[in-house]
Copies of this chain bind each other. A is one copy, B any other.
């Protein structure tokens, strides 16, 4: 096993290297588009989602060699990061959240204009599915079947019933769709987040469990873990938005509050929000415990997600 302490660093560099290798470049792809896609993809992101994919593959691999399980899961890991990056680009557009700063740098549309930002996002989404279909390049029927299963899980999490659906609700809640207002209360807020960020986080872990060769029961447990961790991640994000400074976050802090966007702290208060995050973490641990994966890298990552400061 990759040494516990170094797992995140090692996995992160595998992902960065694979993203760079697989991303289209000129002349196959127009130089400007290649440049725009890389601008957002290599902007110092935490790579949380692909790390979940690789950690899940590592957790479920049982007697498979680690290198094999990780290699099989790496394309899916890259795919969820490509989709996450495209969603940030589109969310930042003036027609959506209208953010001009992301990870301490001007957002993509500020640099290249809205049209190129829309296209770079569209291109990243397509490349995500092209990559899963292409890699690992094998005729092994078990791996081919896993690829289809992982592609389905990721596409459904990214689409209208997942991330895109959540962003739609968020846009309505922000009053940005005339004639279609939406009020986010104590029920609707978690439901929105479960789609907007939770679905892809869950799919990141689940696709790793699939590509790692987990049994159906193990895949279901990792899926459940991912659901709880995704929710905890969003609650912590909302708490950080209240507590953090722009410098620490690399984006405009207090923006949710300033925009009157409902958040966990604004609806449930700071104390209860912290308790809710802890509860999610406890439930996540339980999911792994049930299938004997409580000692895995995956279990440790939940702690990292909750204790992060940015």
* A261 within 8 Å of B (CB atoms): no
Q: Which residues of A from 119 to 141 have beta carbons under 8 Å from B? A: 119, 121-123, 125-127, 129-130, 132-134, 139, 141
Q: Which residues of B contact A116 (CB under 8 A)?
A: 168, 171, 177
Shortest A180–chain B CB gap in Å is 5
Q: Which chain B residue shows the least CB distance to A158?
A: B126
| Assembled-state Cα–Cα distance A60/B162 (Å) | 37
Q: Which of B133, B155, B176 contacts A148 (CB 8 A)?
A: B133
| Assembled-state Cα–Cα distance A61/B95 (Å) | 46
Q: Which residues of A from 1 to 52 have beta carbons under 8 Å from B? A: 24, 28-30, 32-34, 37
Q: Are A126 and B171 in contact (CB under 8 A)?
A: no
* A291 within 8 Å of B (CB atoms): no
**Total number of A residues with any Cβ neighbor in B under 8 Å:** 59
Known: A90-B122, A122-B121, A169-B30. A129 touches B155 (CB 8 A): yes
Q: Which residues of B contact A33 (CB under 8 A)?
A: 160, 164-165, 168
Q: Are B113 and A167 in contact (CB under 8 A)?
A: no
**Number of copies of chain A assembled together:** 2
Shortest A13–chain B CB gap in Å is 24
Q: Which residues of B contact A156 (CB under 8 A)?
A: 126, 130
Q: Which residues of A from 165 to 185 have beta carbons under 8 Å from B? A: 165, 167-169, 171-172, 176-178, 180
Shortest A266–chain B CB gap in Å is 22
Q: Which chain B residue shows the least CB distance to A87?
A: B122
| Assembled-state Cα–Cα distance A112/B177 (Å) | 7
| Assembled-state Cα–Cα distance A287/B165 (Å) | 43
Shortest A184–chain B CB gap in Å is 13
Q: Which of B28, B118, B129 contacts A151 (CB 8 A)?
A: B129
Known: A112-B177, A176-B113. A167 touches B130 (CB 8 A): no
Q: Which of B115, B144, B158 contacts A96 (CB 8 A)?
A: B115
| Assembled-state Cα–Cα distance A182/B167 (Å) | 34
Q: Which residues of B contact A130 (CB under 8 A)?
A: 152, 155-156, 159
Q: Which of B32, B127, B160 contacts A168 (CB 8 A)?
A: B32
User: Can you report 18 residue pairs joining A to B where beta carbons are below 8 Å apart?
Assistant: A29-B161, A30-B169, A32-B168, A33-B164, A34-B160, A95-B114, A95-B118, A119-B164, A123-B160, A126-B155, A126-B156, A127-B155, A129-B129, A129-B155, A130-B156, A133-B149, A139-B145, A144-B145
Q: Which 8 A-B pairs have the closest CB atoms?
A: A126-B159, A133-B152, A95-B114, A130-B155, A123-B160, A123-B164, A29-B160, A129-B155
